[in-house]
Amino acid sequence: MNIETLSSKELIVLISLCGYEDKAKEIGDSMFPNRTEFFWRDYSEKALELLLEKEWIDEDHIVSEWLQNFIHEYIQARSIIRAINRDRNETLIFRCLKNGTWLREHIFIKHEEHRITTLHHADLAEEIASFYHYSNKREPANVSFTLTDDQFAEMSKKSGGRKIRRAAGFTPQERASFDQFNRSLDKRDRLLDSVSFLTVDEEYQDTHLNKVIFHLPAEEGVWVITYSNASKVEFKLLSLEGWLHTLEIENQMEWREEDV
């Protein structure tokens, strides 16, 4: 692969030039919502200038063959893992390619920069752990509690913790666990990181969320938040190894014969 780093504007315009205009618009709108037509015209012109300088496109805006092949693989990947690090305002995306390797895309949102490399499936868990820089201070105790989906949504508010503590009907042990989680959440400005597992349908039109695992560093390991069913959310304090095991990299992906 002959590509390592490119800007968001270059990537969006390349995707459009390779025939995926709708996908380019979707990515552009997600990164730069509510922008004017003038913004996008100026944005595209600057991207075309950069691509011409790199000789990735010609004067007629035809994309180099090797780069077209890369964009096709990028868009047509059917199994995707997306990790979000809110502290650093960065996203890490893994796309499974048809030859069985993975495309690793590290997005630095502030700088609108994408760093792209390939890696083997066996290295996924290590890459995710490295992305978050979590560290254990000591082995966590057996700590857990459960909330409803609505209560979980309330936790993003500063006042949500106090309201839920009064109304949740916790046992003394659960209340202590909830208070411990709430202290960790306050330290992170009430923001959670997440790892999502997605698949794309056969026509490469719709992206389906298979599972999302929210997580939060704590003094004793990592808080892991998962949906047990449509209405209950489970909170567990785990070791780093326990958190990575919960991700179940091997089992979360929806493998197909043509993907390997």
pLDDT of residue 223: 93
Instruction: Give the pTM.
Output: 0.86
pLDDT of residue 260: 38
Per-run averaged pLDDT (10 residues), the chain, 260 residues: 78 93 86 82 90 91 92 89 91 88 91 90 88 76 86 82 80 89 88 90 72 89 84 89 81 46
E strand map for the chain:
5-7, 79-85, 90-96, 102-108, 113-119, 144-148, 193-200, 207-218, 221-227, 232-238
pLDDT of residue 121: 85
